[in-house]
């Protein structure tokens, strides 16, 4: 691995920038377009940004935690980094593709690695209709929002909304309500990974809703179509004792 080229990227925080300076001095640095692997220094937010930046390249990304949570990151160490990357296990994930139409008829498209969220924009609750694979499953959900999460994203916003944690190999998506008011006891659903989800906004003029794919937001949408982008693969590298499958299992047994 010593002969391979590494690109380093870092968040703007001081801790990440200090690590960037030390590692690039020690191992050199190339443009991500010329790299065999990208090392991301920061937290989960930077990892998501880096994954989005590498869409379509098949270039693996090895994250090291210089942020706060760091669920998607490996532990930070400056020693033997090329050998560590060479020995790492690769996890391949597929993002979600979101297509929306807003109140003016404009069409938007974005990819989400963690989740797609439908969120109310005002003090009034959103009213949503949910269809799966062309069949209406819920005529009206009154809520603060609704999200569709991938297994990789199931421990993020989805978990905070009391959604299920999904093992990577489960080939499922989590459909999770956010503060559901009616039906009050509905806790969401598990869907096949290849399900096509359509969410229609009821009363969009009175109860405006935003559609958010990870960090990309489109406001005042009328409907959203969400499905797995099976033709797009993203590759993350993890230390053998810290792979993503193990972390997802461990997260389910935390007190």
Q: Does residue 6 sit in helix, strand or coil?
A: strand
Distance from C-alpha of 221 to C-alpha of 205, rounded to nearest angstrom: 10
- CA–CA separation, 21 and 240 (whole Å): 26
Alpha-carbon distance of 110 to 108, in angstroms, equals: 7
Query: Of the residues 44, 102, 200, 214, which is catalytic?
Result: 44
Q: In degrees to the nearest 10, what's the CA dihedral of 32, 35, 36, 40? A: -40
For 71, 113, 114, 145, 210, the CA distances from 184, given in Å and listed in that order, are 31, 29, 25, 13, 22
Active site includes 44? yes
Active-site amino acid positions: 44
């Amino acid at each position: 691995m010593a002969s391979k080229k590494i690109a380093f990227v870092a968040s703007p925080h001081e801790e990440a920038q200090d690590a960037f300076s030390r590692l690039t001095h020690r191992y050199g640095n190339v443009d991500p377009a010329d790299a065999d692997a990208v090392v991301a220094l920061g937290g989960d937010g930077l990892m998501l940004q880096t994954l989005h930046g590498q869409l379509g390249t098949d270039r693996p990304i090895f994250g090291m935690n210089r942020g706060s949570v760091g669920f998607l990151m490996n532990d930070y160490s400056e020693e033997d980094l090329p050998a560590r990357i060479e020995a790492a296990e690769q996890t391949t994930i597929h993002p979600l593709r979101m297509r929306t139409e807003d109140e003016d008829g404009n069409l938007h498209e974005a990819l989400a690695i963690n989740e797609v969220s439908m969120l109310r924009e005002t003090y009034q609750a959103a009213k949503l209709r949910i269809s799966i694979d062309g069949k209406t499953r819920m005529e009206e959900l009154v809520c603060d929002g609704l999200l569709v999460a991938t297994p990789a994203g199931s421990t993020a916003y989805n978990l905070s909304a009391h959604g299920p944690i999904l093992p990577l190999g489960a080939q499922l998506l989590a459909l999770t309500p956010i503060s559901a008011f009616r039906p009050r006891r509905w806790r969401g659903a598990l869907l096949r990974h290849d399900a096509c989800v359509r969410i229609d906004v009821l009363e969009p003029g009175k109860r405006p809703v935003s559609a958010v794919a990870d960090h990309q937001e489109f406001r005042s949408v009328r409907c959203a179509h969400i499905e797995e982008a099976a033709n797009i693969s993203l590759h993350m590298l993890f230390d053998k004792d810290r792979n993503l499958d193990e972390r997802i299992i461990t997260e389910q047994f935390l007190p």
